[in-house]
Amino acid sequence: MAKNKLNKNWLHDHINDPYVKLAQKEGYRARAVYKLKEIDENEKLIKPGQVIVDLGSTPGSWSQYVRNKLSGKVGGGIEGTIIGLDMLQMDPIADVHFILGDFRDHKILRQLEVILAGRKVDLVLSDMAPNLSGIASADAARMEHIIDLAVEFAQGHLKPSGALLVKCFNGSGYSQIVEKFRDEFKTVSPKKPKASKDKSSEIFLLGRGVKNPISLQKVLSDS
């Protein structure tokens, strides 16, 4: 009974969520888009001509937003390159390259390199999160592992002036994640957009300027 009540409460909150309604109205696949939108508007992250990688892109709302920001090219299309990667299938988005698979996998990285054609990336986005167990220490370790993977990916692919935006949780293990970011990026700032629910510990970290880039050869050899 308690579980059914929780499910009903969640469904009620979800249906009445203003960001859910706005996403439906504006044609976005998830309310998460407004978290990226607010951060982007404040930080001026996304600009025409950029190469942007969206890690854990499915269902695609962040890629949709990036696509809209890079659109406006004469004759249609976009000015820039967007690449989404996920282990779950994503419905196609115009002008977005999607790669299905684990970005640690050698074959997947090879597919990515074909699209990049020797170019470095301006911005890496990660809205990835683990399946939470409710055990704080285990969940913190899983979240830290996912962020480690995103940081390593960024080190191997970002321009020296590039940026990485990741989701994390302000709780057990958070201070260690912030410390790691400060070790690897020249500037680090936490972001709590309005679309993140008040009761959620969700927070985003933005790192700019890679301190310790990794050669592509090392990334491929380690994959």
**Residues carrying an active site annotation:** 167
Residue 118 annotated in ligand binding = no
86 marked ligand binding residue? yes
Q: Which of 81, 119, 113, 118 is nearest to 97 (CA)?
A: 81
207 is in an annotated binding site: no
Handedness of CA 209, 149, 190, 24 (dihedral sign): positive
Residue 10 known to bind ligand = no
CB atoms closer than 10 angstroms to residue 115: 14
Tokens read off for 43: 């930080």
Residue 95 annotated as part of some ligand binding site:
no
Between CA 39 and CA 42 the distance in angstroms is 5
Residue 23's identity, in one-letter code, is: A
Residues annotated within a binding site = 60, 62, 86, 102, 127
Residues annotated within a binding site for S-adenosyl-L-methionine = 60, 62, 86, 102, 127
